Structure 1
Amino acid sequence: MLDKTIYKQIFKSSFNAPIDVEFWDGEKVSYGDGDAIATIILHEIIPIKDIMAHASLTFGEAYMDGKIEIQGDLQKLVSTIYSSQESFLNGSKFAKLIPKQSHSEKTSKADVQSHYDIGNDFYEMWLDPTMTYSCAYFADEKDSLEDAQWNKVRHILNKLHPQSGETLLDIGCGWGTLIFTAAKEYNLEATGVTLSQQQYDFVSEKIKAEGLEDRVHVYLKDYRELEQTYDHVTSVGMFEHVGKENLQEYFMQVSNRLVDNGTALIHGITGQHDGAGVDAWINKYIFPGGYIPNIAENINHIMHTGSLQVDDIEPLRRHYQRTLEMWTQNFHKVDEEVISAYGERFYRMWDLYLQACAASFESGNIDVVQYLLTKGPSGTKLPMTRSYIYHADVAHGVQ
């Protein structure tokens, strides 16, 4: 009885929209006014002490294991949880800090490979043909996911204001779309670095297949091992992986890899508010060692390099929400294939991850931000206004 009473208190304060809850003994309770956006079915008692210790981890595992079922709009349900200041995810009475994460070169490699080396076949099932696993850029409401990913890559490169023959380094290059585009469309000598064996093999084979050995290079190594300098540095969806304790070193490495007056475009998930940048469930199952810094943290680290300056900041929260919603649609189209290859628990884990992340962006709990930086006096090599970016976007089909 005590467990159910506390459950009811949690549900009463945790949602900003009407929901229905069906408890393990068959009792049904409605919360809020109007038609429920979803029904939560609790098949068994989940210990309150586990919820108090790590709410997101406990409920996430319960969903993966089928102890909890969600009927209705999962994304909207999670979004309402983030929107409620008294929810079990936001309320301080349910919060608990998780231990500091180790981010040596060895542990960073293990963390990256645990996520990205699931297998290229898995990501090919639901990513678009560009194999781009980061926030897209929807220049038009009607853009397909593939079009929006091409937009994103070109928008990033256009911000750098690159000149033919210059060099570019992409830290955390993924499956290489950005470096191939830099070489083929902007005539840059492009280098990528990754810790994922699967990504490295994919990019290496593509370089040979396209005969780009003299213009595109890829290395399987930690970004901290690099020594060469470049005219431009990009890094997309990377700083979320380095850990809170290594953010300063990360931005120092960006600076160290740039020539004087070089430009950098750093794109990553960023909090707009104070609060812990780690989610226990995502840290355990999706991104081991991950940490989401807020804007103030990143700006502080940029300032403390002593050399990098901020030229432009562009939030893309709605773009990532839309990207995740499209990934979720693609993922649902291959549900049987994923379950057959990896099991239902794995499928439920990834389904929850994609929809919960979309909800997090929808609610404004997190954002994704592009930081345009220069090494040296701000804008020395850039035009006086931002109009150059949009003129270049139009010239490259981003419109």
Structure 2
Amino acid sequence: MLEKTLYKQMFAHSFNIPVTVNYWDGTSDTYGEGPVQAEITFKKAVSVREIAKNASLALGEAYMRGDIEITGPSDRPIQTVLTAAYESAESFMRNSKFMRVIPKQSHSEKASKHDVQKHYDVGNDFYKLWLDPTMTYSCAYFEHDDDTLEQAQINKVHHILKKLNPQPGRTLLDIGCGWGTLMLTAAKEYGLHVVGITLSEEQLKFVQRRIDDEGLGDLAEVHLVDYRELKHEPFDYITSVGMFEHVGQENLGAYFKDVAKLMADDGVALIHGITRQQGGATNAWLTKYIFPGGYIPGLTENMGHIIDAGLQVNDMEALRRHYQKTTEIWDENFHAVHDQVLKLHDEEFIRMWDIYLQACSSSFESGNIDVIQYLLTKGASGKDLPMTRDYMYK
């Protein structure tokens, strides 16, 4: 009875839309006025103590087990509920009594390799099912409302490379090169000599096969190496997309210093990553099940490290709405191949990825997280960059 009362108190201030909660004992309550926009059904009670201890972990695991169902008129009811929770001023996700001190996490080179492989070495066949043909697993860039995801990912690659104002024959390092679309585009279409590095063995094999198949061995190479261990002459250009979210809070400063060390004195870097404008944060459920060791840095936190590394910001661009649309398309693609994914993984794995993708969409939609591109030079260099932004769009 006490647990039920605590649930009622918790949900009474958790959403800014009308939500019906169906409890495990067959009773229901509707919170908010107007047409119900989502229903949350508890098939079993989830310990209020565990929710208070860490809401994202307790409720995320309950959803994975099937103890919670979320339904509604929208195609993405989980996103609807989580966006309403993020946007609610009194949401339990933002209520101080549910917040916890960010835990320290190991990010040695061995730990970083384990973390990356746990996520990205799920298998190329899995990612091929729902990513676009470019195999790009980061925020796309929608220049037009009707851009397909593939076109938007190609747009993103060119948007990044154009910002560098690259000159043929120069060198580029891609830190965390993924499945290689950016680095190979830089080689094929911009005439750059490119080095890609990754800690994923699956990605390494995929990119090396692309280099061999496309005859790019004279312009591109890929290595399984931690950026902290890379031994190479300084590069004219550096790109790093969706990377610094994985290095850990304690290593952010060293990460930007390593970027500076790997840059030529007149070099240019484009660092693209998820950032919280409200300050850095972790999510216990994401850390345990999706991105081990993950940490989303705050905007001012990143800026402090950039300055301490002797780098200078030449341009910044926020792409939050682009990432919301990207994750929404990923979720649609993922649902469309449910039966194929089920041949590779069990239903709990599918529920885990479903809530992950929709939670990402809700976080971007509500402004809980953002994605920002930082165009950096060493000190007050960057003399080769044009005076206006026009060059980025030609």
The answer, yes or no, to whether TM exceeds 0.5 is yes
Matched, 1:241 2:222: no
> Is the CA contact (8 Å cut-off) linking 2:102 and 2:281 kept in structure 1?
no
> Is the CA contact (8 Å cut-off) linking 2:265 and 2:381 kept in structure 1?
no
Aligned to 1:92: 96
2:223 aligns to what SS in structure 1? strand
Aligned to 2:237: 232
Give TM-score, length-normalised by structure 2: 0.98
Aligned to 2:38: 38
Aligned to 2:198: 194
Offset of 1:376 from its aligned partner? 3.0
- Alignment partners' CA distance in 2, 1:98 and 1:158: 37
- Aligned pairs (5 A) from 1:251-330: 251-274=256-279, 276-306=280-310, 308-330=311-333
- Alignment partners' CA distance in 2, 1:101 and 1:88: 25
> Is the CA contact (8 Å cut-off) linking 1:172 and 1:236 kept in structure 2?
yes
Offset of 1:378 from its aligned partner? 4.6
Offset of 1:24 from its aligned partner? 0.3
Q: CA RMSD in A?
A: 0.8
- Aligned pairs (5 A) from 1:376-387: 376-387=379-390
- Aligned pairs (5 A) from 1:131-170: 131-170=135-174
> Could you tell me which amino acid in structure 1 is paired with residue 276 of structure 2?
G
- Alignment partners' CA distance in 1, 2:189 and 2:179: 17
Give TM-score, length-normalised by structure 1: 0.96
> Is the CA contact (8 Å cut-off) linking 2:270 and 2:373 kept in structure 1?
yes
> Is the CA contact (8 Å cut-off) linking 1:261 and 1:377 kept in structure 2?
no
Identity, % of aligned pairs? Answer: 60
Offset of 1:141 from its aligned partner? 0.7
Instruction: Output one character per residue of 1:201-227: Cα deviation in whole Å (capped at 9) or x when no partner.
Output: 101111111111110010001010112
Aligned to 1:397: none
Offset of 1:126 from its aligned partner? 0.1
2:13 aligns to what SS in structure 1? helix
2:202 aligns to what SS in structure 1? helix
Instruction: Output one character per residue of 1:22-42: Cα deviation in whole Å (capped at 9) or x when no partner.
Output: 000110111101111110000
Structure 1 unaligned residues grouped into runs of 5+: 392-399
> Is the CA contact (8 Å cut-off) linking 1:168 and 1:232 kept in structure 2?
yes
> Could you tell me which amino acid in structure 2 is paired with residue 356 of structure 1?
A
> Is the CA contact (8 Å cut-off) linking 2:172 and 2:194 kept in structure 1?
yes
Classify 1:36/1:378 alpha carbon distance in 2 versus 1 (closer, same or farther; 3 Å). farther
Instruction: Output one character per residue of 1:349-390: Cα deviation in whole Å (capped at 9) or x when no partner.
Output: 000000000000000000000000011315311011111111
2:393 aligns to what SS in structure 1? helix
Aligned to 1:179: 183
Offset of 1:340 from its aligned partner? 2.7
Deviates more, 1:113-122 or 1:29-38: 29-38
Paired positions, count:
389
2:266 aligns to what SS in structure 1? strand
- Alignment partners' CA distance in 2, 1:85 and 1:227: 49
Offset of 1:98 from its aligned partner? 4.2
1:36 aligns to what SS in structure 2? coil
1:217 aligns to what SS in structure 2? strand
Deviates more, 1:190-199 or 1:84-93: 84-93
Aligned to 1:68: 68
Question: Which 4+ runs in 1 deviate beyond 2 A?
Answer: none
Pick the aligned partner of 1:363 from 356, 363, 366: 366
> Is the CA contact (8 Å cut-off) linking 2:187 and 2:193 kept in structure 1?
yes
Aligned to 1:56: 56
- Alignment partners' CA distance in 1, 2:101 and 2:57: 12
> Could you tell me which amino acid in structure 2 is paired with residue 247 of structure 1?
L
- Alignment partners' CA distance in 2, 1:99 and 1:151: 37
Structure 2 unaligned residues grouped into runs of 5+: none
> Could you tell me which amino acid in structure 2 is paired with residue 40 of structure 1?
I
> Is the CA contact (8 Å cut-off) linking 1:50 and 1:58 kept in structure 2?
yes
> Could you tell me which amino acid in structure 1 is paired with residue 133 of structure 2?
P
> Is the CA contact (8 Å cut-off) linking 2:42 and 2:68 kept in structure 1?
yes
- Alignment partners' CA distance in 1, 2:324 and 2:270: 21
> Could you tell me which amino acid in structure 2 is paired with residue 7 of structure 1?
Y
> Could you tell me which amino acid in structure 2 is paired with residue 327 of structure 1?
W
Deviates more, 1:101-110 or 1:370-379: 370-379
- Alignment partners' CA distance in 2, 1:372 and 1:294: 17
Matched, 1:351 2:354: yes
- Alignment partners' CA distance in 2, 1:97 and 1:197: 34
